[in-house]
């Protein structure tokens, strides 16, 4: 992160280098810019949703260096030099990720607002090996809120992908 010394709305701005979905970006941002706002407002990646803006709903979940984070609570400057994966990065060639396919098959996306965060959390928990049981899935998905109540369908989708991964 390079401090540009510029003032932006009473704050300072810096150049932040991010690799998002495999592409490098150098952004000059107010130091107070969240990762979520950098993604949505500066890179036009609107898949990650702004829900509560307090880290409680999980709608803005993305992966930073392979680990899930709620992007509304992380400053973009904290991601300088790091790899960020958003929902858009899961299917760069247009082919759905296995978790996305399972969500469709199990109707785990009802209104769809929470779906990007749910999918990103599911991808992370599968990579972490945290899908051993329905209870474990529920525990590690507890940071993602679905107002439609699609939780049983979401768990079924994750369980399906975990079973496929275990069979490989």
The dihedrals phi and psi of 157, each to the nearest 5 degrees, come to: -65, -45
d(CA 113, CA 47): 9
pLDDT digits (tens, 9 = 90+) for 85-134: 999 999 989 999 999 999 999 999 999 999 999 999 999 999 999 999 99
Q: Where are the domains of the chain?
A: 2-88, 98-167
Q: Which residues contact 122 (CB under 8 A, 6 or more apart)?
A: 99, 103, 141, 154, 157, 158, 161
- pLDDT tier at 146, thresholds 50, 70, 90: very high
Predicted pLDDT at 2: 60
- pLDDT tier at 9, thresholds 50, 70, 90: low
Domain 98-167 has CATH 1.20.140.150: no
Task: Please give the CATH architecture assigned to the domain spanning 2-88.
Answer: Roll (3.10)
Number of H helices, E strands in the chain: 5, 6
Spatial CA neighbour of 98 closest among 83, 84, 119:
119
Predicted pLDDT at 165: 83
Predicted pLDDT at 125: 97
> Would the pTM count as exceeding 0.85?
yes
Q: What angle do CA 103, 107, 111 make, to 5 degrees?
A: 100
Rg (CA), the chain: 17
Residue 6, pLDDT above cutoff 60: no
pLDDT digits (tens, 9 = 90+) for 49-90: 999 999 999 999 999 999 999 999 999 999 999 999 999 999
**Whole-Å CA distances, 156 to 63, 122, 135:** 22, 11, 12
d(CA 159, CA 3): 46
Q: Which residues contact 15 (CB under 8 A, 6 or more apart)?
A: 1, 2, 4, 26, 27, 28, 29
The H-or-E segment that residue 94 falls in is none
């Amino acid at each position: 992160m390079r401090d540009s010394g510029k003032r932006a709305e009473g704050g300072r701005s810096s150049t932040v280098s991010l690799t998002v979905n495999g592409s490098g970006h150098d952004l000059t941002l107010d130091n107070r810019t969240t990762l979520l706002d950098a993604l949505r407002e500066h890179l036009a990646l609107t898949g990650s949703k702004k829900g509560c803006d307090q880290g409680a709903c999980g709608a803005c979940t993305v992966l930073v260096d392979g680990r899930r984070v709620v992007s509304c609570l992380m400053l973009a400057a904290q991601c300088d030099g790091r790899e960020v994966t958003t929902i858009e990065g899961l299917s760069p060639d247009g082919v759905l990720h296995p978790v996305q396919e399972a969500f469709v098959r199990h109707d785990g996306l009802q209104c769809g607002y929470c779906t990007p965060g749910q999918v990103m959390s599911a991808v992370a928990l599968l990579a972490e090996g945290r899908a051993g049981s329905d209870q474990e899935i529920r525990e590690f998905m507890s940071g993602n809120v679905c107002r439609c109540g699609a939780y049983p369908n979401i768990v079924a989708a994750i369980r399906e992908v975990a079973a496929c991964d275990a069979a490989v």
